[in-house]
């Protein structure tokens, strides 16, 4: 035992710091493995425009896929992916 109360509490303080660090690490999001895409590239995936993040993961643009049958996801000449209106008979 130490000569002061602070020295006696140090091991307890160290355990609190270790517990806090463990909680922080558990709270970190678990990201899927990288897809290997080129950052800031666009693509249509499952009928929805996506962009490749800086961490090389495909990220959806918007909350939902393109509204079928009036729209489809398409690659534009500019290289962007977007929902575009269809020309078929199902479009109002």
Cα dist from 29 to 19, 24, 43, 77, whole Å: 18, 10, 24, 35
For residue 77, pLDDT over 70 is answered with: yes
β 58-60/71-75 pair status: unpaired
pTM over 0.75: no
pLDDT tens by residue, 25-76: 777 777 788 999 999 999 999 999 999 999 999 999 999 999 989 999 999 9
Residue with tokens 């993040």: 53
Block residue for tokens 């575009």: 84
Please, is 28 exposed, middle or buried when counting C-beta atoms within 10 Å of its C-beta (0-12, 13-18, 19+)?
A: exposed
User: What is the structure's pLDDT at 57?
Assistant: 94
Q: Tell me how far apart the alpha carbons of residues 74 and 42 are, in angstroms, rounded to a whole number.
A: 10
Q: Residue 75: its pLDDT value, please?
A: 97
Domain locations along the chain: 1-30, 42-85
Tell me the C-alpha distance between 81 and 39, whole Å.
14
């Amino acid at each position: 035992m130490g000569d002061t109360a602070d020295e006696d509490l140090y091991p307890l303080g160290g355990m609190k710091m270790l517990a806090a660090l463990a909680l922080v690490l558990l709270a970190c999001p678990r990201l899927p493995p990288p897809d290997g895409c080129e950052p800031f590239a666009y693509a249509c995936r499952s009928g929805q425009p996506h962009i490749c993040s800086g961490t090389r993961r495909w990220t959806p643009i918007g909350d939902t896929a393109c509204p079928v049958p009036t729209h489809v996801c398409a690659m534009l000449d500019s290289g962007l992916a977007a929902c575009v209106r269809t020309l078929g008979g199902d479009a109002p």
